[in-house]
Amino acid sequence: MTLIHALLLGLLQGATEFLPVSSSGHLAIAQYFIDGFNQPGVLFDVVLHCGTLCAVLIYFWQDVRSLLTAPWAKGTEGIERRRLLGLIIAGSVPTAVIGLTFKDLLTSLFHNIPLVCAMLLVTGTLLFLAERWRHGQRQQHQLTLKDALVTGLVQGLAILPGISRSGSTIAALLFRGVDGAVAARFSFLLSMPAVAGAALLSLRDVDGLAAGQLALYLAGGGMAFVSGLLSIHLLMAVVRKRRLAAFALYCWGAGVLFFMLS
Protein backbone atom coordinates (compact mmCIF):
# COMPACT_ATOMS: atom_id res chain seq x y z
CA MET A 1 0.00 0.00 0.00
CA THR A 2 1.32 3.43 -0.95
CA LEU A 3 0.68 6.82 0.66
CA ILE A 4 -1.75 7.66 -2.15
CA HIS A 5 -3.67 4.44 -1.47
CA ALA A 6 -3.81 5.21 2.25
CA LEU A 7 -5.08 8.76 1.69
CA LEU A 8 -7.66 7.69 -0.88
CA LEU A 9 -8.96 4.92 1.37
CA GLY A 10 -9.09 7.37 4.29
CA LEU A 11 -11.03 9.82 2.15
CA LEU A 12 -13.40 7.06 1.10
CA GLN A 13 -13.89 5.91 4.69
CA GLY A 14 -14.63 9.38 5.99
CA ALA A 15 -17.04 10.17 3.16
CA THR A 16 -18.97 6.90 3.43
CA GLU A 17 -18.89 6.20 7.18
CA PHE A 18 -21.64 8.69 7.96
CA LEU A 19 -23.41 8.83 4.64
CA PRO A 20 -25.76 5.81 4.54
CA VAL A 21 -23.87 3.89 1.84
CA SER A 22 -21.69 1.47 3.89
CA SER A 23 -18.08 2.44 4.45
CA SER A 24 -17.10 -1.19 5.07
CA GLY A 25 -18.56 -2.21 1.73
CA HIS A 26 -16.79 0.57 -0.13
CA LEU A 27 -13.49 -0.19 1.60
CA ALA A 28 -13.75 -3.89 0.78
CA ILE A 29 -14.44 -3.13 -2.88
CA ALA A 30 -11.68 -0.50 -3.13
CA GLN A 31 -9.13 -2.77 -1.46
CA TYR A 32 -10.12 -5.57 -3.85
CA PHE A 33 -9.01 -3.41 -6.77
CA ILE A 34 -5.69 -2.36 -5.15
CA ASP A 35 -3.12 -4.85 -6.37
CA GLY A 36 -1.40 -6.64 -3.52
CA PHE A 37 -3.31 -4.89 -0.72
CA ASN A 38 -3.13 -6.70 2.59
CA GLN A 39 -3.47 -5.89 6.28
CA PRO A 40 -3.18 -7.85 9.53
CA GLY A 41 -6.78 -8.76 10.32
CA VAL A 42 -8.79 -5.60 9.67
CA LEU A 43 -6.30 -3.32 11.44
CA PHE A 44 -6.15 -0.68 8.70
CA ASP A 45 -9.95 -0.53 8.52
CA VAL A 46 -10.11 -0.08 12.30
CA VAL A 47 -7.54 2.75 12.18
CA LEU A 48 -9.73 4.50 9.60
CA HIS A 49 -12.77 3.98 11.83
CA CYS A 50 -10.82 5.53 14.72
CA GLY A 51 -10.33 8.59 12.51
CA THR A 52 -14.07 8.89 11.96
CA LEU A 53 -14.66 8.21 15.68
CA CYS A 54 -12.58 11.32 16.42
CA ALA A 55 -14.79 13.22 13.96
CA VAL A 56 -17.89 12.14 15.91
CA LEU A 57 -16.25 13.21 19.19
CA ILE A 58 -15.53 16.66 17.80
CA TYR A 59 -18.87 17.18 16.06
CA PHE A 60 -20.96 15.98 19.02
CA TRP A 61 -18.62 17.15 21.76
CA GLN A 62 -21.40 18.86 23.73
CA ASP A 63 -23.39 15.62 23.78
CA VAL A 64 -20.32 13.57 24.67
CA ARG A 65 -19.39 15.90 27.52
CA SER A 66 -22.92 15.82 28.91
CA LEU A 67 -22.87 12.01 28.86
CA LEU A 68 -19.47 11.82 30.56
CA THR A 69 -20.64 14.12 33.35
CA ALA A 70 -24.14 12.59 33.56
CA PRO A 71 -23.50 10.56 36.75
CA TRP A 72 -22.87 13.76 38.71
CA ALA A 73 -25.43 16.04 37.05
CA LYS A 74 -28.26 17.29 39.22
CA GLY A 75 -31.91 18.11 38.67
CA THR A 76 -34.22 17.03 35.87
CA GLU A 77 -31.51 17.65 33.27
CA GLY A 78 -29.22 15.24 35.09
CA ILE A 79 -31.95 12.61 35.14
CA GLU A 80 -32.44 12.90 31.37
CA ARG A 81 -28.71 12.75 30.71
CA ARG A 82 -28.34 9.61 32.83
CA ARG A 83 -31.31 8.06 31.04
CA LEU A 84 -29.68 8.69 27.64
CA LEU A 85 -26.39 7.25 28.91
CA GLY A 86 -28.25 4.16 30.08
CA LEU A 87 -29.87 3.74 26.67
CA ILE A 88 -26.48 3.93 24.94
CA ILE A 89 -25.04 1.34 27.32
CA ALA A 90 -28.06 -0.92 26.79
CA GLY A 91 -27.87 -0.54 23.02
CA SER A 92 -24.17 -1.41 23.06
CA VAL A 93 -24.83 -4.82 24.62
CA PRO A 94 -26.36 -6.59 21.57
CA THR A 95 -23.72 -4.98 19.35
CA ALA A 96 -20.95 -6.33 21.56
CA VAL A 97 -22.48 -9.82 21.74
CA ILE A 98 -22.77 -10.08 17.96
CA GLY A 99 -19.32 -8.59 17.37
CA LEU A 100 -17.52 -10.83 19.85
CA THR A 101 -19.39 -13.98 18.83
CA PHE A 102 -19.04 -13.66 15.08
CA LYS A 103 -15.92 -11.48 14.69
CA ASP A 104 -13.79 -14.01 12.82
CA LEU A 105 -16.63 -15.10 10.53
CA LEU A 106 -17.60 -11.53 9.67
CA THR A 107 -13.97 -10.53 9.09
CA SER A 108 -13.59 -13.30 6.51
CA LEU A 109 -16.61 -11.99 4.60
CA PHE A 110 -14.80 -8.74 3.73
CA HIS A 111 -13.14 -10.58 0.85
CA ASN A 112 -16.44 -11.84 -0.55
CA ILE A 113 -17.19 -9.09 -3.07
CA PRO A 114 -20.44 -10.61 -4.42
CA LEU A 115 -21.77 -10.70 -0.84
CA VAL A 116 -20.70 -7.08 -0.29
CA CYS A 117 -22.58 -6.05 -3.43
CA ALA A 118 -25.67 -7.97 -2.30
CA MET A 119 -25.58 -6.23 1.08
CA LEU A 120 -25.37 -2.85 -0.68
CA LEU A 121 -28.66 -3.76 -2.35
CA VAL A 122 -30.08 -4.57 1.09
CA THR A 123 -28.88 -1.21 2.43
CA GLY A 124 -30.52 0.60 -0.47
CA THR A 125 -33.80 -1.22 0.20
CA LEU A 126 -33.72 -0.31 3.91
CA LEU A 127 -33.14 3.37 3.10
CA PHE A 128 -35.91 3.42 0.50
CA LEU A 129 -38.45 1.79 2.80
CA ALA A 130 -37.47 3.93 5.80
CA GLU A 131 -37.84 7.14 3.81
CA ARG A 132 -41.15 6.09 2.30
CA TRP A 133 -42.76 4.83 5.49
CA ARG A 134 -41.13 7.07 8.09
CA HIS A 135 -43.70 8.35 10.55
CA GLY A 136 -43.75 10.15 13.86
CA GLN A 137 -41.58 12.84 15.37
CA ARG A 138 -40.53 11.30 18.68
CA GLN A 139 -37.80 13.32 20.34
CA GLN A 140 -34.77 12.28 22.36
CA HIS A 141 -36.59 12.31 25.71
CA GLN A 142 -39.12 9.86 24.22
CA LEU A 143 -36.56 7.20 23.27
CA THR A 144 -37.21 3.89 25.02
CA LEU A 145 -35.19 0.86 26.07
CA LYS A 146 -36.73 -1.06 23.17
CA ASP A 147 -35.50 1.64 20.75
CA ALA A 148 -31.98 1.26 22.12
CA LEU A 149 -31.97 -2.55 22.00
CA VAL A 150 -33.38 -2.69 18.46
CA THR A 151 -30.84 -0.12 17.27
CA GLY A 152 -28.00 -1.97 19.00
CA LEU A 153 -29.08 -5.24 17.38
CA VAL A 154 -29.18 -3.62 13.95
CA GLN A 155 -25.78 -2.02 14.56
CA GLY A 156 -24.36 -5.44 15.39
CA LEU A 157 -25.74 -6.94 12.18
CA ALA A 158 -24.27 -3.98 10.27
CA ILE A 159 -20.82 -5.49 10.83
CA LEU A 160 -21.63 -7.34 7.61
CA PRO A 161 -19.68 -5.55 4.85
CA GLY A 162 -22.07 -3.69 2.60
CA ILE A 163 -24.63 -2.99 5.32
CA SER A 164 -24.41 0.68 6.26
CA ARG A 165 -24.15 1.09 10.03
CA SER A 166 -25.48 4.64 10.01
CA GLY A 167 -28.07 3.91 7.33
CA SER A 168 -29.45 0.78 8.98
CA THR A 169 -29.58 2.20 12.51
CA ILE A 170 -31.19 5.45 11.38
CA ALA A 171 -33.67 3.45 9.29
CA ALA A 172 -34.54 1.29 12.31
CA LEU A 173 -35.29 4.37 14.40
CA LEU A 174 -37.30 5.98 11.59
CA PHE A 175 -39.41 2.82 11.38
CA ARG A 176 -40.05 3.23 15.10
CA GLY A 177 -41.34 6.77 14.66
CA VAL A 178 -38.27 8.69 15.86
CA ASP A 179 -37.52 12.12 14.38
CA GLY A 180 -34.81 11.99 11.68
CA ALA A 181 -32.33 14.35 13.36
CA VAL A 182 -32.77 12.58 16.71
CA ALA A 183 -32.28 9.21 15.01
CA ALA A 184 -29.03 10.35 13.40
CA ARG A 185 -27.69 11.83 16.63
CA PHE A 186 -28.48 8.69 18.66
CA SER A 187 -26.98 6.52 15.90
CA PHE A 188 -23.69 8.41 16.04
CA LEU A 189 -23.51 8.38 19.84
CA LEU A 190 -24.22 4.64 19.88
CA SER A 191 -21.44 4.02 17.36
CA MET A 192 -18.69 5.31 19.64
CA PRO A 193 -18.52 2.39 22.11
CA ALA A 194 -18.66 -0.08 19.19
CA VAL A 195 -15.78 1.55 17.29
CA ALA A 196 -13.71 1.95 20.46
CA GLY A 197 -14.28 -1.72 21.31
CA ALA A 198 -13.28 -2.84 17.81
CA ALA A 199 -10.11 -0.75 18.09
CA LEU A 200 -9.15 -2.45 21.37
CA LEU A 201 -9.75 -5.90 19.91
CA SER A 202 -7.57 -5.06 16.90
CA LEU A 203 -4.56 -4.09 19.03
CA ARG A 204 -3.45 -7.72 18.88
CA ASP A 205 -2.94 -7.33 15.12
CA VAL A 206 -0.39 -4.52 15.54
CA ASP A 207 2.43 -7.07 15.77
CA GLY A 208 1.67 -8.10 12.21
CA LEU A 209 2.13 -4.58 10.87
CA ALA A 210 4.92 -4.40 8.31
CA ALA A 211 7.85 -2.05 8.95
CA GLY A 212 7.22 1.44 7.62
CA GLN A 213 3.45 0.96 7.36
CA LEU A 214 2.54 2.77 10.60
CA ALA A 215 2.91 6.23 9.00
CA LEU A 216 0.62 5.17 6.15
CA TYR A 217 -2.00 3.92 8.61
CA LEU A 218 -1.90 7.20 10.54
CA ALA A 219 -2.12 9.23 7.31
CA GLY A 220 -5.20 7.26 6.30
CA GLY A 221 -6.75 7.79 9.72
CA GLY A 222 -6.09 11.54 9.54
CA MET A 223 -7.74 11.78 6.14
CA ALA A 224 -10.75 9.81 7.43
CA PHE A 225 -11.07 12.31 10.30
CA VAL A 226 -11.17 15.35 8.01
CA SER A 227 -13.55 13.90 5.43
CA GLY A 228 -15.66 12.42 8.23
CA LEU A 229 -16.36 15.83 9.74
CA LEU A 230 -17.69 17.02 6.40
CA SER A 231 -19.86 13.97 5.80
CA ILE A 232 -21.48 14.18 9.28
CA HIS A 233 -22.59 17.70 8.48
CA LEU A 234 -23.96 16.57 5.12
CA LEU A 235 -25.86 13.60 6.57
CA MET A 236 -27.55 15.72 9.23
CA ALA A 237 -28.82 18.01 6.47
CA VAL A 238 -29.91 15.03 4.33
CA VAL A 239 -31.92 13.47 7.17
CA ARG A 240 -33.67 16.73 7.98
CA LYS A 241 -34.59 17.30 4.33
CA ARG A 242 -35.79 13.70 3.82
CA ARG A 243 -33.36 12.79 1.04
CA LEU A 244 -32.43 9.23 2.04
CA ALA A 245 -34.08 7.79 -1.08
CA ALA A 246 -31.29 9.29 -3.21
CA PHE A 247 -28.75 7.19 -1.30
CA ALA A 248 -30.94 4.13 -1.84
CA LEU A 249 -30.57 4.63 -5.58
CA TYR A 250 -26.81 5.02 -5.17
CA CYS A 251 -26.49 1.79 -3.16
CA TRP A 252 -28.52 -0.14 -5.73
CA GLY A 253 -26.43 1.24 -8.58
CA ALA A 254 -23.11 0.65 -6.81
CA GLY A 255 -24.09 -2.89 -5.84
CA VAL A 256 -24.99 -3.85 -9.41
CA LEU A 257 -21.98 -2.07 -10.97
CA PHE A 258 -19.33 -3.55 -8.70
CA PHE A 259 -20.90 -7.01 -8.93
CA MET A 260 -20.41 -6.88 -12.69
CA LEU A 261 -16.86 -5.49 -12.39
CA SER A 262 -15.80 -8.12 -9.85
What's the confidence (pLDDT) of residue 207?
A: 65
DSSP H or E segment with residue 136: none
Whole-angstrom distance, CA of residue 50 vs CA of residue 56: 10
Three-class DSSP category at 177: coil
Taking only the tens place, the pLDDT of each residue in 116-127 is 888 899 999 988
One-letter amino acid at 183 equals: A
Average pLDDT over the chain, rounded to whole? Answer: 84
Q: What is this structure's pTM?
A: 0.83
Angstrom CA distances, 138 to 155, 159, 166, 178, 226, stand at 20, 27, 19, 4, 32
Confidence of residue 89 (pLDDT cuts 50, 70, 90): very high
**78/72 Cα distance (integer angstroms):** 7
- CB contact at 8 A, 49 and 195: yes
Residue from 85, 134, 144, 139 nearest 248 by CA = 134
Q: pLDDT of 138-169, one tens digit each?
A: 898 899 999 999 999 999 888 888 888 888 99
CA distance 226 to 10: 9
Question: Which one-letter amino acid corresponds to residue 64?
Answer: V
CB 59 within 8 A of CB 232: yes
| Separation of alpha carbons 240 and 255, rounded Å | 26
- Taking every pair of Cα atoms in the chain, the longest distance, rounded to a whole number of angstroms, is 58
